Amino acid sequence: MLRLDELARPVSEGCAHVLRLRLHEFVVRGQALLDAPQADEALHDARVAVRRARVWLKLAEDAVAVGQKDRHALRAFARESSPVRDREVQLAWLAALPLEGEDVLGQQALLALLHEDFEQKRALLLETLPEALVGAEHALKHLHPLEAQDQPMGSWLAEHWMDVAAFLIEDVPHLPENLHAVRLVGKQLRYLLEPMVEALGAQDVMQVLRRGQDALGRVNDAQVLRAALPHYVGMLMGQQVEADVRLALDMELAPTWVMPPVWAGLRAVCVRALDEETEALAELHGWRLAHADTLVAGLQRIGVQLAGSEFDGFGNPTGDSTS
């Protein structure tokens, strides 16, 4: 997407080039979702495309002119897409559980409940999509570089890369306490790096980032599910049961009391949800132990490539200082 020699062009021109490609991608993916909302991966692809576009819109807000109305339309779609994606992941996880016997009754009850909620939220999301597509298409036609930004693309990217990379390097050792912040920063680095992967020969760093994002995402999905399960159970069994289940899961326990037949399956799902979170945390811990040092070295190497050989990965001169 960006050649190495293009990093010497003015930042406003480089950002306008990347933004046009990102907005065009969202238009294509968004239209595909609108045309076939039930197609496999259609929602996922549109969400990734809008996130990529919004990261670069934020990054380049002082280098490229894009109207606020267009930005707001994209933000509205991105905001509405999150709960839809959560339900989609939860449905897939729940449907894949190998439950048997009386446990199936509770599983089926939850599946029916989540499916109805998913369809309602997807319908609301699709209502925001036409406006988001109009905003993206309008931005494509009218965005233009700001002449005030003539700094070389490479050095400008280096400054942003160093700031975000330093935050990630500082916070990764403290996982999973700062899970949400690390996920956000990891996504920013990934979407920032994507246009330059081939030019910088950074496929190895991208692979580590993607594996980390997968591990972080699995933990997040498990925690979102655990937080949501009491509400789902309460919708089926009553508010008092919701409070009891929430307390039990907060204590990392599965409720043990006897209730109507559907309860056996609901309790089995709670047990599996706790197991899923434990396994996800173990996977994240394994990624951190195996790849943290490699990630740090890769992030610093990219900083060197962007900033130039006279600087280290975080913008500090490597040579002897002179007075």
Cβ–Cβ < 8 Å for 177, 153: no
What are the extents of the domains in the chain? 11-82+122-149, 151-309
Write down the pLDDT at residue 320: 44
Class assignment of domain 11-82+122-149? mainly alpha
CA distance 201 to 224: 36
pLDDT in tens, 275-297: 999 999 999 999 999 998 999 99
CB neighbour burial string for 66-101, b if at least 16 within 10 angstroms, e if fewer:
beeebbebbbbbbebbebbbbbbbbbebbeebebee
What are the residue ranges in the chain where pLDDT is below 70?
148-149, 255-261, 309-323
DSSP state letter for 256 = -
Taking only Cα atoms into account, the Rg of the chain, rounded to an integer number of angstroms, comes to: 23
Cis ω before 98 (30° cut-off from 0): no
pTM of the predicted structure, to 2 decimals: 0.85
Cβ–Cβ < 8 Å for 132, 50: yes
CA distance 15 to 145: 8
Sorted by sequence, the CB contacts under 8 Å of residue 150 that are 6+ apart come out as 10, 11, 12
One-letter identity of residue 246: R
Write down the pLDDT at residue 174: 83
